[in-house]
Amino acid sequence: MRFIFQGARLVGGFALILALGERATLAGAKPVTPPPDAFSPMIELAPFVAKGKQLSVSIHARSASDRRYAEAFSEEVMKVVYEGVTESPGKGLVIIGRKGEPHPSLVFRKFLALAEAGKIDPAIAARGPELFSMLNHWQHTVNAGKAEDVATEGNVDLEFEKIIAALPLPLEGLGAKLYQLAWFEKFDDAKVEAKLCALHPADLERNLFAHFDWVFYLPPKGAFDQVLDQLIADALKEDGAGFFARTAVKGVMLVVKPKIRQAIEGVRKGVMFQTVVQARTTLSEGEVLALTGAYIETMMPGEDRTKGGTAHERAVIALHDQLRKNAEPAREPATEPAAAEATLPASNP
């Protein structure tokens, strides 16, 4: 009887707790919910209009100036995508980095190095080729878009590794998960490495980007200027350059610096363009690369401005032209005369 009485008291206690909870809910008290993550509250929707239609892109930023820059950058590219390629740019997220944070590619490279050294769970390390392929494709896109004539004119080395801090990149697949991991560790190198080494497959199931069609990382505004200043400083440090040589280089830089800025900014916009078009169309990789190249070309220094119209209008025209070229059937290569002669049978003497 004692045990029955104690059990009855426990049941009655639980019933009282449930009743109080229900009464509190009915009285308007909000149920207890887990605290939101620190990342999502920094995402704000940035609306804009393209050809009379209301569109928007989500921006994640941690300063007002970075947010303004990311909004203007994204709006310009997405209007070109909308008018030049597809009227369905989808739900996109642009994340602009914060000054002092390492570039996401450094986190990805750390993962690959640790996986190669056998320090990461084999099930997760097996996804290394996916990450390697993404980085390789990204670098190929950037290298294809660089303006070599601008670099040569000012004796400036636009090598990929020297401008990487200013380059944006798409965040997809494993790369997106690793970026989130590093973000919550505040990009602290030691903490990120420890987290990577302790990862289990279940740890990668969380995905704050799941409801976006594409996600794009944009370096902070200051990163662009820092890279440009370093490129110029390296050009002035050339071995054997005396006072007069350095003075001459500085004079050239006054002319070339704006061109370098324009070229790199064109490539940055091209990478975002490719990210959106690749995610929102059924075009092949080759077709997307051709469109990206056509778009970047309209933003390069020395591009013919006599065609008229605004930069946006010239970009849309170039994309329409490239789409027509993509739709044309592939032509058989013409046979060289020499090769044709070689196929003829030898004449009898």
**Is 128 a domain residue?**
yes
Q: How many domains does the chain have?
A: 1
Closest CA to 170 of 105, 79, 86: 105
Domain-located, residue 280: yes
Q: What mean pLDDT, rounded, does the chain reach?
A: 81
Q: Which of 28-37, 205-214, 236-245 holds the top average pLDDT?
A: 205-214
- What is the mean predicted confidence (pLDDT) over 310-339? 80
- Helix ranges (H only) for the chain are 2-26, 64-84, 104-116, 122-125, 128-145, 148-153, 160-163, 173-184, 189-197, 221-236, 243-280, 285-297, 311-327, 337-343
3-7, 49-53, 98-102, 209-213: which has the minimum mean pLDDT?
A: 3-7
Kindly indicate the confidence band of residue 22, based on its pLDDT and cuts at 50, 70 and 90: very low
The residue segments making up the domain with residue 171 are 101-207+222-315
**Residue 182 belongs to some domain of the structure:** yes
Segment 296-308 mean pLDDT: 77
Assess if residue 7 is contained within a domain. Answer: no
Residue 5 domain flag = no
Q: Give 222's pLDDT tier (boundaries 50, 70, 90).
A: confident
Q: Give the residue, 9 or 186, on which the prediction is more confident.
A: 186
Q: Could you give the CA distance from residue 180 to residue 201 in angstroms, rounded to a whole number?
A: 15
Q: Which helix (H) or strand (E) holds 218?
A: strand 214-218
pLDDT value of residue 1: 42
- For residue 249, name the pLDDT band (cuts at 50, 70, 90): low
The predicted pLDDT at position 206 comes to 84
* Mean pLDDT to the nearest integer, 189-209: 93
Report yes or no on 121 lying in a domain. yes
Is 338 contained in some domain?
Answer: no
- 202 within domain boundaries: yes
SS3 category, 334? coil
